[in-house]
Amino acid sequence: MSESPAAARSVLYRVCHETLYHYANPVTNARQLAHLQPRSTGWQRVLQSEVKIDPAPGELDGDEDYFGNRVLRFAIDGAHDSLEVIACSEVEVLPHAPAPDSDSPAWRTALAVPTDFHAPGALDIMQYRVGSAQAPLMSEAGAYAAQSFNGNRPWLGALYELTRRMRADFKYDTKATTVFTPVADVLARRAGVCQDFAHLMISALRSLGMSARYVSGYIRNDRAKTSATPGATPSAASGTDPATEALTGADASHAWVSAYCPGHGWVDVDPTNGKIADTEFITVAWGRDFSDVTPLRGVVLGDGGQKLEVRVSVTAI
Amino acid sequence: MFASYPVAKARFDELLEDSSRPRVHWRGLHAELVATNPLQIRDRLGAAERQIREIGITYNVYADPKGHDRPWDLDVLPMMISAEEWESIEQGIIQRAQVLNSILADLYGPQALLREGHLPPQLIYGHSGFHRPAHGMQVPGGIYLHAYAADLARSPDGRWWVLADRTQAPSGAGYALENRLIVQRIFPELFQSLRVPHLARFFAALRESLMGFAPRGDGPQLTVLLTPGPYNETYFEHAFLARYLGFPLVEGGDLVVREGRVWMKTIDGLKRVHAVLRRQDDSYCDPLELRADSALGVAGLLDCARRGTVLIANALGSGVLESGSLLGFLPGLCERLRGETLRLPSIATWWCGEKAALEDALERMASLVFKPADPADRFESIFGQDLDAAGRAALRQRITARPERFVAQELVRVSQAPVFTHGGSIGARGVGLRVFAVATQSGYAVMPGGLTRVAGAADARVVSMQRGGGSKDTWISSSAAVDASFSLLRHTVGPQDLVRAGAGITSRVAENLYWFGRYSERCDDTARLLRVALNPALHEAEDEGNALDPLQALARRFGLFGDRADSPASSRLLLTAATAADNPYGLAANLRQLERVAFNLRDRMSADNWRTINQLTRDPLFGKPASLSQALTGLNRIITSLMTLAGFALDGMTRDSGWRLLSLGRRIERLLFQCLALQSALDEGVASGLSWLLELADSVVTYRSRYLSRPEWLPVLDLLVRDAANPRALAFQARGIRDFLGKLEDSFGPCGANEFVAAMAALDALDPEVDLQPESAQLRTTLAALTSACYRVNERLLERFFNHVQSHHWASMGRAPA
């Protein structure tokens, strides 16, 4: 099968992720934890990454978390009534996705437990096979996945089919779920957002005994090519110039799934869009589920409400 | 006395070595019991309880909010263990603690045990207690496990087995100490002659080790005991241990992270915390990196642990070892980590997540008990022997579906020991033993003794601390001499400790004390106001004015009618404010606020104090619709109790900053109320008479003794405004507040004393010739000035001392919606 010209070469992106909190009453003692700077991988080079924070934090510390993601911790002691965090990065993504019909071993190969855990990455295979709070083991999810993973089907083919089937079976609906909706409800309602679909698919794969992890990042939102991409609601911040609108229209962070098979390694698939992730996906961080890689989580002292605004722009440069 | 002691069937008997003869290490106790009248033992128990209560260490001090005392669950007969046997338990516990500490160091470090196949990775990775953010922490001294406890039981062949390891925040050491303090008073001679080793050294080792291992800097070493708060079931043990060890008892809100370090918020400002002995589970300790919904934690605590700027005992994440699934792997891990055979074995336990173990467990289902592999996965233990064929099939299906959730454990018939029954005879109960160890600079030290746990029923299969079970003191009959002088209790506290008295009052405690003062006075004002307003005798007063008008105006201004402020006032509204339990503005509501504040101060309240508050909120007055005369009787009762409460503060509290804040709260509240009362009197004017005002200010007797006339404006106002000797007079309260603030300012800098300067000058400037009349503008200005001075001081106090605990915190998480 011939590859499309777009996937044949690497793509350079500039990604900006703006988070703005408005607090009803001034807050103090804010401590925040950010997963906003993309990690480097075998197919992704981070050329530049910076985070601007307003008000300026009294403490700021960059680190790598347990999963190898870049994490930023910062604290603002004084009273403030808003918090603005703007993370901008330049990232080059190389083609890395296997063609959906490329050869792969029978799917049961993916159930194997590594015999040698000294091998690099071997422990990770088990790390992402056990259930986690937001992507637990669940027989109903396993049964849903088993419709694709059966007989002697090749692993990649089954995985791709599951990805496509989820795209077809589930309705993208921001009203259907909240951040607290368990995957069992997502499965029952057949609706949700990318985060729900990712969690459900991870649950399904793990429940069959395979390894799967949650990937947080961005998707190039080029409507001309992927007009059906859900989540591409126009952003208030999108430019008015029609030439750039198509490329800067993405307005939120995205989530998808990475699944493992010996011989293939980790392959990223996106159940929201029903495709194997390639150069149009920019990876920020991965973990067992969303809670490991929340873009920005924090604790503040305060007694009022808060309003959150998030804007994401992804521009190919 | 032993006539009813049953012969052990198919279980080990701790007391008897054959059907009649006690074992050597029990003979002393046995002989004492045979020689003693059971009634005497009961008397001694009663005396010991009273004595303990007097020195403030009792199970009953910390009564629960419903007013029920905690059930007395101590059996007076100590569990006896021979010194030889104890030594092998001790060695076994030390080795186990070392092994468990090394496992933690590996799991939160290189994970070699997983790579090498000594532990299945999925066992650890799938455990909810494995906290990835804790990976790579720098723990002081390489110690993860500072306080360790193991639950032991003895099988019919006489061997001890470990049933469970407690590695997170083991409870029970405080209970063991309490039991000891009581039981040694019941058998004082026996305790001496058997040379039972004291427990105090263990606690000293705990205290000194925490301080020794902890990082230093930013002032004197400070260790705090972190509790989830008064709603926790073992809160009284936290309070007891904190007091015994001399650690401030703090809640998450009392601590704050700044510049990568942990600080305690006190009314003296922030104090660096070097070590945290926590009684809070891992996942609740830091809402930023662990459970985001935890309101109990300290945001940033984990980051401090990661930097090694604070010692946390036990290290965050140590709960991962609290799983039956680990027990089966310990012998191999002990070999691998220490090159030794495990001395103190665990009871045979299999993790069903392993295929071979699963098959084995399903085969022998009838003889096993099935438990959750992950303590967070709460389900009751399932005894295979209880199940019929259908039940076994159902269980098999349940386990096969999710085998990794289960462990299978052999049943052990635990040994029996004598207990003192209510009838005064001696019976037998199954027993288990919780043993405690603490990491010291020279290795693990084991508490000589421990908490013996007693099964609830004679034939119980499991011994647990759950409801129904009890506990015993544990005596090791020692051959070595015992250093009897060693104790951490007050009488051995040196002068250096006394210097610290009063320091370390956390802002939370200070704030609660202040509000306790304000609410107790507010309740008093409310009750008095209602009593005067409802009193029919008022209308017969000699000055014959219409007294109800100013009283109703006052009640409305004071907020007793709530949102019905616009409706015409009536006796009915007053009666409702006095007696309705559900009226959100009345007396009952104010008393509930008082109780809520008092509840947060429970560890500082005496039993008497707490009981009085309980009686107040549960007064029969609020039970059902009351008649006028019932209401008045009830109000009298409540006013008396409130005066008792005030007496405790006056008579029973140390004069430290905390007491000053409490008193300040009372005085500010009273001054505000008196200003309001006078304002109402002035507004309603001459027609209303003044008897009600004197009555309200509790000054009738004084007035009558001074002036043999009916109330007149000049003398009444003099008595209630200018008389510095009358505790209800403005001058008295204003002066008191200024002096209190002055004392606080000596220690803490400006607290708002100057706010009172102008108001007091106005008060002093009042001219009896012209200003002690209802028409005086000067008098009204003075009242307004005093009132606003009170509000400003209140604000200053909030800013100065409490501001950082006023608000709650929340964690926020966005979501990826695309």
φ, ψ of residue B582 in degrees (nearest 5): -100, 5
For B422, residues 6+ apart whose C-beta sits below 8 A from its C-beta are none
- Cβ atoms within 10 A of the Cβ of B356, count? 8
B128 touches chain A (CB under 8 A): yes
Residue B339, Ramachandran bin (φ over 0: left; ψ between -120 and 50: alpha; else beta): left
Closest CA of chain B from A315, distance in Å: 17
Shortest Cα distance from A178 to chain B (angstroms)?
Answer: 8
Banded model confidence at residue A4, pLDDT cuts 50, 70, 90: very low
Query: Of B360, B393, B411, at which residue does a domain stop?
Result: B411
**Is B112 a residue whose pLDDT tops 80?**
yes
Residue ranges and CATH numbers for the domains of chain A are 5-93+296-316 (2.60.40.2250), 107-293 (3.10.620.30)
> Closest Cα partner for B225 from B241, B211, B209?
B241
Mean per-residue pLDDT, A239-255: 49
Specify whether B152 is located in the same domain as B246. Answer: yes
Residue-wise pLDDT tens digits, B355-376: 999 999 999 999 999 999 988 8
Q: How confident is the model at residue B617 (pLDDT cuts 50, 70, 90)?
A: confident
One domain for residues B660 and B738: yes
CA distance to partner chain B, nearest, from residue A180 (Å):
10
* Residue A145's pLDDT band (cuts 50, 70, 90): very high
Q: How far apart are CA B153 and CA B412, in angstroms?
A: 8
Task: Determine whether the interchain pair A118/B804 forms a contact, defined as Cβ–Cβ distance below 8 Å.
Answer: no
Average pLDDT over residues B597-613: 79
Task: Retrieve residue B667's tokens.
Answer: 């005085």
Closest chain B residue to A303 measured between Cα atoms? B807
**Residue B89: pLDDT over 70:** yes
Q: From residue B714, give the alpha-carbon distance in Å to each of A185, B696, B723, B776, B808.
A: 76, 17, 12, 11, 49
Q: Which of residues 27-46 of A touch B (CB under 8 A)?
A: 28-29, 31-33
Identify the closest residue of chain B to A58 by CA–CA distance. Answer: B259
Q: What is the pLDDT of residues A7-24, one digit of tens each?
A: 468 999 999 999 999 998
CA dihedral B548, B552, B555, B556 (to 10 degrees): -170
Nearest to B160 by CA among B370, B342, B428: B342
**Whether B809 contacts chain A with CB within 8 A:** yes
H or E element: which one contains B189?
Answer: helix B188-193
Give the pLDDT of residue B460. 60
Region of residue A171 (phi > 0: left; psi between -120 and 50: alpha; otherwise: beta): beta
Q: What is the pLDDT of residue A226?
A: 34
Residue B676 backbone dihedrals phi, psi, to 5 degrees? -65, -40
**Residue B274 included in any domain:** yes
| pLDDT tens, residue by residue, B728-764 | 999 999 999 998 888 888 777 777 888 888 889 999 9
Q: Is there a single domain that holds both residue B671 and residue B599?
A: yes
> Among A237-246, B338-347, B366-375, B618-627, where is mean pLDDT lowest?
A237-246
Cβ-defined contact of B817 to A296 (cutoff 8 Å): no
A219 touches chain B (CB under 8 A): yes
pLDDT band for position A222 (50/70/90)?
A: low
DSSP A17-46: EEEEEEEEEEEEEEEEEE--SPPPBTTEEE
Write the residue in B288, B804, B808 that is nearest to A33 by C-beta: B288
Distance, CA of A212 to CA of A203 (rounded, Å): 8
For residue B422, being part of any structural domain is answered with yes
Q: Which residue of B has its CA nearest to A76?
A: B258
Count helices and strands (H / E) in chain A: 8, 14
- B389: domain CATH number? 3.30.1490.270
B-chain residues within 8 Å CB-CB of A59?
A: 259-260
Nearest CA in chain B to A67: B132
Give the distance between the most distant pair of CA atoms in chain B: 102
- Please indicate if any CB of chain B lies within 8 Å of the CB of A157: no
Q: Which residues of B touch A137 (CB under 8 A)?
A: 402
Looking from the CA of B143 toward its CB, the CA atoms found within 13 Å total 26
Cβ of B818 within 8 Å of Cβ of A231? The answer is yes
**pLDDT at A8 (0 to 100):** 62
Contacts of B541 (CB under 8 A, 6+ apart): B547, B689, B691, B692
Q: In 3D, which of A2, A1, A60 has the Cα closest to residue A31? A: A60
Residue B15 counted as domain residue: no
Task: Please give the Cα distance from B237 to B250 (Å, whole number).
Answer: 13
Mutate: best of B254, B301, B316, B809, partner A, most A CBs <10 A: B809
Residues B305 and B369 in one domain: no
Give a yes or no: residue B499 inside a domain.
no
For the beta carbon of residue B767, count every other beta carbon within 10 angstroms: 10
Smallest Cβ–Cβ distance between A66 and the set B132, B292, B814 belongs to B132
- Return the pLDDT at B803: 58
Average pLDDT over residues B484-491: 45
Query: Are the CB atoms for B379 and B372 separated by under 8 Å?
Result: yes
Q: Given a cut of 90, is residue B561 above it in pLDDT?
A: no
In angstroms, the Cα distances linking B785 to B147, B755, B769 are 57, 10, 21
- The letter for the amino acid at B388 is D
Domain C-terminal end among B376, B411, B446: B411
Closest Cβ opposite residue B807 in set A219, A252, A302: A302
Q: Which domain holds residue B731?
A: 507-806
Name the token pair of B503. Answer: 């320091």
- Domain membership of residue B718 (yes or no) is yes
Judged by a CB distance cut-off of 8 A, whether residue A123 touches chain B is yes
Range from A100-104, A264-268, B475-479 that averages highest in pLDDT: A264-268
Bridge partners for B810 per DSSP: A300
Residue in B121, B257, B815 nearest the CB of A123: B121
Question: Which pTM does this prediction carry?
Answer: 0.82
Question: For all residues of chain B together, what is the average pLDDT?
Answer: 85
Give, to the nearest 10 degrees, the angle between helix B173-186 and helix B235-245.
80
- Looking at residue B690, what is its pLDDT? 86
Whether residue A39 has pLDDT greater than 80: yes
Within this chain, do residues B259 and B239 fall inside the same structural domain, yes or no? yes
Task: Check whether residue B434 and residue B362 sit in a common domain.
Answer: no
- Is A256's pLDDT higher than 50? yes
Residue B452 lies in a domain: yes
* CB-based contact, B287 to chain A, within 8 Å: yes
- The pair phi, psi for residue B555, each rounded to 5°, is -60, -40
Pair (B378, B517) in one structural domain: no
Q: How many domains does chain B have?
A: 3
Angle CA B517–B799–B499, to nearest 5: 65
- For B702-707, which contacts have Cβ atoms below 8 Å and span 24 or more sequence positions? B702/B726
Q: Name the CA dihedral angle for A219, A222, A225, A228, rounded to a multiple of 10 degrees.
A: 70
> B149 and B85, same structural domain?
yes
The CA distance from B271 to B328, in Å, is: 45
Count the Cβ atoms, other than its own, within 10 Å of residue B817: 22
pLDDT at A5 over 50: no
pLDDT beyond 90 at A276:
yes
Task: Tell me which of B390, B411, B432 is where a domain ends.
Answer: B411
Q: Is residue B817 part of a domain?
A: no
What is the β-pairing status of strands A306-316 and B406-410?
unpaired
Nearest to B811 among A178, A251, A299 (CB): A299
Tell me whether residue B633 is in a domain. yes
The Cα A67–Cα A69 span in angstroms is: 6
Quick check: A139 contacting B, CB < 8 Å? yes
**Beta strands B74-82 and B349-351, pairing class:** unpaired
Do residues B798 and B757 both lie within one domain? yes
CB contact set of B704 (below 8 Å; sequence gap of 6+) = none
Residues B290 and B391 reside in one and the same domain? no
| Whether B377 and B340 share a structural domain | no
Same domain, B399 and B447: no
What is the pairing mode between strands B382-383 and A70-76? Answer: unpaired
